Amino acid sequence: MNKKLPLTESVEDYLESILVLSEQLDHVRSVDVASYLGFSKPSVSHAVKLLQEEGLLQIDPKKYLILTENGKEVAQSTYRRHLFFSEMLENIGVPRDIAQKDACRIEHIISEETFEAIQNFYQKAEQLESKRSDDSN
């Protein structure tokens, strides 16, 4: 019986790392993911097998990792949150390294509804600030 793999922080991190690496490299291998995340190769191999079993990842004959549509969707959603929160935190004065670490934590615990509400609020606030700047000139 095949249990559904929950979308845990770890699963999202693996998928996100494969997405990011696929934008930087021609082909992504398990060793690239291990290096990127700072995990052992056996640990990554085990995770890759689980991701493949769940249909989130494919492995081609040359052992390159390829996100499936479902895997890509999860990875892009996680990465979009990461980019948003790291930029937002930096904009309010949080040092870049701390903003990156905190964004990585926030991206996993927040619901899609709350993320969209924060994103909309932040965009409206930026638009108001931009309008104020234009009006004062």
pLDDT of residue 26: 95
User: Percent of the chain beyond pLDDT 90?
Assistant: 80
Q: Are 72 and 23 in contact (CB under 8 A)?
A: no
Cα–Cα dist 75/70, whole Å:
9
130 burial type by CB count under 10 A (0-12 exposed, 13-18 middle, 19+ buried): exposed
Q: pLDDT (tens digit, 9 = 90+) per residue, 3-21?
A: 565 678 899 999 999 999 9
Which residues of the chain form CATH 1.10.10.10?
Answer: 9-69
Instruction: Return the CATH number of the domain spanning residue range 73-136.
Output: 1.10.60.10
CATH of 9-69, one of 3.40.50.300, 1.10.10.10, 2.40.50.140, 1.10.760.10: 1.10.10.10
DSSP state of 25: S
Which residues of the chain form CATH 1.10.60.10?
Answer: 73-136
Q: pLDDT (tens digit, 9 = 90+) per residue, 35-60?
A: 999 999 999 999 999 999 999 999 99
CB-based contacts of 82, cutoff 8 Å, min separation 6: 16, 103, 104, 107
**How large is the C-alpha radius of gyration of the chain?**
18
Q: pLDDT (tens digit, 9 = 90+) per residue, 87-100?
A: 999 999 999 999 99
